[in-house]
Structure formats: C-alpha cells, structure tokens
C-alpha cells in the first residue's frame, strides 16, 4: 500500500476445510474510498475470503486488519467491530422472510442499535428511496418482491447504517442484463454517495468492470493478478485472459468428472 493506510489489509490468509485448501495465502489491501472487485471461477474461494473478513468464518492463519485493527483472532469484540463498520449485500439477498421490507432495511437500527420504530422506519423509507423503491414497497414481505427488487432492498439494508465498508457478494447473479445494470449503477452511485470502501466478488465481467476501481483475480486460493479494469484485456496473464474471455481451453482446467471415467 502507498502512503495511505489501507481500510482493509489481508496478509497470508489461509483457510482449509478438511483436505480442501481453499485460501492458500491471500495478500490483499483496499484503500479508503476505493472499490475492489475480486473475480474468480466457482469454487475459487471468493466467498470464503469475504466471509473470513466479515467474521463469519475463522481463518486458519494470516492477518486481517479492518480500519487498522487486526480481526483475525475472530473474537466476539472483533466480530462486533467488523459488523459496526460494514454492510453486506448477499448473493441470495438473505432478506428476513418473517419481517416486512422496511423492517428488513431497519433491522440493524431496530435490533442492533435499539432505535425507536418511528425513527427506524423513517430511515428505512429514506434508504428505500435511495435505491428507487417507494414507501409502499416497505410494507410488503420479501416473498412479494421480484429478484431485482430483493437485491435493491438488500442494498438498502446494507447502506442503512451508513457503513464505512460495503461488501457485495455476486450482486448481479440471477438478474437479467438490464436489472444487472440498474444494480451496478446503484452500487456505484451509493458507494460514492456515502464515501464507502467497497469489496465485491463476482464472475460477471461486465459488472466487475463497471463497479471496480481495481480488479483482483483469485485462482487456487491466491491472488494471481491485480490491476485497473482498463488493463484487464491486456493483463499479460494467460489465466486472467482465459477467464475474462470465458474460454474453456487454457491454463485453467475445470474439475469436471464424467460418468464412467476416473
């Protein structure tokens, strides 16, 4: 990192599940106010990396600093510290079925910060407006919304407490191209508006190029390339090149076993 202190600093991060070594020494840092997108194939460890930083998974070894504080010990106070700093948009939106949309958006305010329902609802409606949803939508249940609307609500929930860091897990997965672009625009717009640092993981290259200040590629548990989006086409890395152009042939071999073959 240059002269600026990194908002997120990861060094030598390892995580295994049994014999499956998912993360094999990740080194990564993100400057304040910047948007980093981590790309990589399915099963490359992107989600594990994100969950480790969020304190949802305990890493085996390595250091992880969030806003200068080492949170790799995974203690309760570390997790609380990270939760207070961050907002997260989950791949499947992860909205609470039993609550209305506005209660979902205001969940942290209602149950984390114990604010009044009136104040929390006002804030939730404001956040819904920021992602293009009306107050009437706030009274609905998540099951009554389309996939695109659920993503918007999830984004509204992530930004409701004005977090310093935002995480996006596959924000456009399962959406049509137009709705994907709407979500990408909202992400760029909201991240800039609240001045947050953003870390996204995706394998949607269009989305990555749109929301990233920098892109890093994760392959076999390590970062193999990092650079600005406009250098992605000429990365000089054959694995990045194969991934970006979606070619089956190349140095990245997918683990596919056919029936009848060993």
Partner 1 sequence: MNPIAAIGRLSLDIFGEIGRMTTFAVEGALAAVTPPFYWRPFLQSLARIGYASLPVVGLTAIFTGGALALNIYEGSIFPDANAFIPQILGVSIVRELGPVLASLMVAGRCSSAMAAEIGAMRVTQQIDAMSTLSVNPFRYLVGPRILATTIAMPILVLIADIIGVYGGYLVSVYLLDMSAPIYINALIDFISHDDVTSGLIKATVFGFLIAVTGCYYGYRSGGGATGVGNATRTAVVAAAVLIFAANYALTSLFVDF
Nearer to partner 1, 87 or 221 (CB): 87
Nearer to partner 1, 35 or 47 (CB): 47
- Nearest distance in Å: CB 154, partner 1: 8
Query: What does the alpha-carbon distance between residue 102 and residue 65 come to, in Å, rounded to a whole number?
Result: 32
- Is 194 one of the binding residues for partner 1 (CB under 8 A)? no
Token match 């203690």: residue? Answer: 75
Q: If you write DSSP's letter for every residue of 134-175 in order, what string do you get?
A: -TTGGGS-GGGS-HHHHHHHHHHHHHTT--SEEEEESTTTT-
Measured in whole angstroms, how far is the alpha carbon of residue 11 from the centre of its chain?
19
Token match 């910047």: residue? Answer: 34
Contact flags string 96-135 toward partner 1, x per CB under 8 A: xxx--------xx--xxxx---------------------
- Is 151 one of the binding residues for partner 1 (CB under 8 A)? no
Q: Can you list the alpha helix ranges (DSSP code H) found in 160-236? A: 177-194, 205-211
What letter does residue 109 receive in the DSSP assignment?
I
Nearer to partner 1, 152 or 210 (CB): 152
Options 15-23, 37-45, 61-69, 86-94: segment touching partner 1 (CB under 8 A): 86-94
- Is 51 one of the binding residues for partner 1 (CB under 8 A)? yes
- Is 95 one of the binding residues for partner 1 (CB under 8 A)? yes
From the list 157, 190, 203, 210, which residue makes contact with partner 1 (rule: CB under 8 A)?
157
CA of 40: how far to CAs of 25, 68, 90, 173, in Å? Answer: 16, 27, 17, 14
Segment 242 to 261, residues that bind partner 1, using CB under 8 A:
none
- Is 168 one of the binding residues for partner 1 (CB under 8 A)? no
Residues in touch with partner 1 (CB under 8 A): 51, 54-56, 79-80, 83-84, 86-88, 90-92, 94-98, 107-108, 111-114, 157, 161
């Amino acid at each position: 990192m240059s002269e600026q202190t990194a908002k997120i600093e990861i060094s030598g991060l390892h995580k295994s599940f049994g014999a499956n070594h998912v993360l094999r020494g990740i080194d990564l840092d993100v400057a304040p106010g910047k948007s980093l997108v981590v790309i990589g194939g399915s099963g490359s460890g992107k989600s594990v990396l994100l969950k480790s930083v969020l304190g949802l998974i305990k890493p085996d070894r390595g250091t992880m600093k969030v806003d200068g504080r080492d949170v790799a010990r995974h203690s309760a106070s570390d997790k609380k510290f990270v939760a207070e700093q961050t907002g997260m948009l989950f791949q499947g939106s992860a909205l609470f079925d039993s609550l209305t949309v506005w209660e979902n958006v205001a969940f942290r305010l209602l149950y984390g910060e114990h604010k009044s329902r009136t104040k929390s609802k006002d804030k939730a409606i404001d956040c819904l407006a920021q992602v293009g949803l009306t107050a009437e939508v706030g009274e609905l249940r998540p099951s009554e919304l389309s996939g695109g609307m659920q993503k918007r609500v999830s984004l509204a929930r992530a930004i409701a407490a004005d977090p310093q860091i935002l995480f996006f897990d596959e924000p456009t997965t399962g959406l049509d191209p137009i709705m994907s672009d709407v979500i990408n625009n909202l992400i760029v717009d909201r991240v800039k508006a609240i001045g947050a640092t953003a870390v996204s993981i995706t394998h949607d290259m269009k989305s990555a190029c749109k929301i990233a200040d920098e892109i890093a590629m994760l392959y076999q548990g390590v970062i193999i390339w990092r650079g600005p989006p406009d250098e992605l086409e000429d990365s000089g890395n054959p694995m990045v090149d194969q991934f970006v152009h979606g070619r089956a042939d190349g140095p990245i071999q997918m683990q596919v076993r056919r029936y009848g073959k060993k």
